Chain A
């Protein structure tokens, strides 16, 4: 099972921060989450949301294996 992590406002919208889902492509995984929760789906496709696969930022689709960690990262703000 791939581990899926949500950060910032995304976890408030979804009501969870961490879940295990079966491995599939990144875009399929995002579509699956959107099917279950339309509000989350919309937030995941929103401006400035980046995806980290195994703690590296990826742009575009990629394969997600059973040992992958996928994190959805909304706009960042520190300091």
Chain B
């Protein structure tokens, strides 16, 4: 399930709900991303999405992940709007028969979300506003999935 929300969420509750009623799933991996304060340089993060388009684009990559890693299920919850340091921005959960597929699919989905999913992120701090763009490391991270088979 792909969800955007402008409300804070509790990652533990999401994992509990995601784990329920699975008799054939041997492994669930999750990732939770938090907003960093950057030692006071970031007072608030603001995430913008393109409603409808953003969910569908993430849905396409989710379909790829399902097929590539043989997932039983996955969940992506992403915040939009204003986010304070320490709050969760993103939660990804993947369910598979075995751990390797679950770990890798979670990693794959996060690399995609960092630099290819339709979100725009603005950092506000004492020095003013700054739009964040993907770093070289983010591009290198996603390239790993394009070179392996």
User: Which residues of A are in contact with B by a Cβ distance under 8 Å?
Assistant: 5, 7-9, 12, 48, 52, 55, 71, 73-79
Contact = CB atoms under 8 A, between A and B. Distances in A.
A79 B90 contact: yes
- What is the predominant secondary structure among interface residues of chain A facing chain B? loop
B26 interface: no
B47 interface: yes
A59 B41 CA distance: 37
A77 B48 contact: no
A79 B45 CA distance: 11
A52 B138 CA distance: 23
Contacts of B9: none
B53 A8 contact: no
B50 A73 contact: yes
A7 B56 CA distance: 17
B120 A7 contact: yes
